[in-house]
């Protein structure tokens, strides 16, 4: 009875990566080209043609990257608001000042109404567009629509899709696919002049397939855990590693991270009680109870 042997195998999936890494690993030619179907920016809004394109089975396993998806969806809405007066994907010398004026006004209104700093450059650290800002950005679709001038229904649909893929629950693939395609059609109908960003294209067009390919609920395969380790990684590199060579530094960092992730040592850490999340009714319709 007790002489049984158990064989355990591990299956590693590259889901904690962003678009840059996915593009490099898939040997794609450009960041602006979809690494799943190869669609170029000028082809993104041609939904009938995009659906018929051949998808890379390997790229579908990279996951949706829910955390970065929030930020990219927010930036899509912002750029629609910036360019809505002249309705063009790019600016030229005649429309650049017009865009900057609208951009300044929108950033001012977001600060006054929602207390958000959007699209503000941070010294050596990118911009203020992060996960927390994007969550509050989509929290009140009516206010966001009023400030940006973008269709409130589209913003609401983006919010529902983002909350669904971040829910860590099983998603009804059929309903999710229908909802995403209806959202893509609404986007093209309202803003066909602005080419769909690659992340928005990835989620709306390929999202349901990526969900079906995932070995766990897509929200559990988020890159959020890796992003949360950035602060600890910097602290480890600064205070707990040798500085005589890069090899020594990286070796010490890896050893430190392996110790900190040890299950036994982790068992002594304080566990924060997780709050029970309440989902919007539209999100519940896309989840499997």
- CB of 25 within 8 A of CB of 19? no
pLDDT at 68: 85
Distance separating alpha carbons of residues 71 and 237, to the nearest angstrom: 28
| Domains of the chain, residue spans | 64-223, 229-263
What per-residue confidence (pLDDT) applies to 224? 72
pLDDT number for residue 193: 95
Q: Is the pTM of this model over 0.75?
A: yes
Query: pLDDT, tens digit, for every residue of 206-244?
Result: 999 999 988 888 877 777 777 777 888 888 888 989 999
Residues 6+ apart with CB under 8 A from 156: 141, 282
Tokens of 62: 């990279």
**289 residues of the chain, pLDDT tens digit each:** 577 888 888 777 777 777 778 888 888 878 888 989 989 999 999 999 999 999 888 888 888 888 888 999 999 999 999 999 999 988 888 899 999 999 999 999 999 999 999 988 887 777 888 888 999 999 999 999 999 999 999 999 999 999 999 888 899 999 999 999 999 999 999 999 999 999 999 999 999 999 998 888 887 777 777 777 788 888 888 898 999 999 999 999 988 888 877 777 777 777 666 566 677 888 888 888 6
CA quadruple 39, 43, 45, 49: dihedral sign = negative
Tokens 């205070």 locate to 239
Residue 284: what pLDDT? 82
């Amino acid at each position: 009875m007790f002489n049984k042997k158990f064989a355990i195998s591990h299956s590693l999936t590259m889901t904690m990566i962003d678009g840059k890494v996915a593009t490099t690993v898939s040997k794609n030619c450009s960041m602006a080209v979809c690494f799943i179907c190869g669609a170029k920016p000028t082809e993104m809004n041609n939904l009938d043609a995009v659906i018929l394109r051949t998808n890379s089975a390997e790229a579908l396993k990279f996951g949706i990257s829910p955390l970065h998806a929030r930020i990219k969806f927010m930036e899509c809405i912002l750029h629609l608001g910036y360019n809505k007066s002249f309705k063009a994907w790019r600016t030229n010398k005649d429309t650049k000042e017009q865009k900057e004026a609208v951009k300044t006004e929108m950033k001012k209104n977001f600060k006054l109404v929602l207390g958000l700093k959007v699209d503000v450059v941070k010294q050596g650290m990118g911009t203020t567009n992060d996960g927390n800002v994007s969550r509050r950005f989509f929290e009140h679709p009516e206010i966001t629509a009023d400030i940006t001038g973008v269709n409130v229904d589209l913003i609401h649909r983006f919010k529902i899709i983002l909350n669904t893929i971040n829910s860590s629950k099983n998603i009804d693939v059929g309903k999710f696919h229908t909802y995403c395609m209806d959202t893509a059609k609404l986007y093209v109908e309202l803003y066909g002049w602005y080419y769909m960003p690659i992340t928005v294209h990835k989620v709306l067009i390929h999202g349901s397939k990526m969900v079906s390919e995932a070995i766990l609920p897509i929200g559990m395969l988020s890159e959020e855990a890796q992003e949360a380790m950035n602060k600890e990684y910097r602290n480890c590199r600064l205070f707990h590693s040798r500085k005589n060579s890069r090899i020594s530094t990286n070796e010490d960092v890896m050893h430190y991270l392996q110790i900190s992730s040890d299950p036994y040592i982790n068992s002594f850490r304080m566990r924060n009680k997780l709050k029970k999340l309440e989902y919007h009714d539209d999100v519940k319709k896309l989840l499997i109870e």
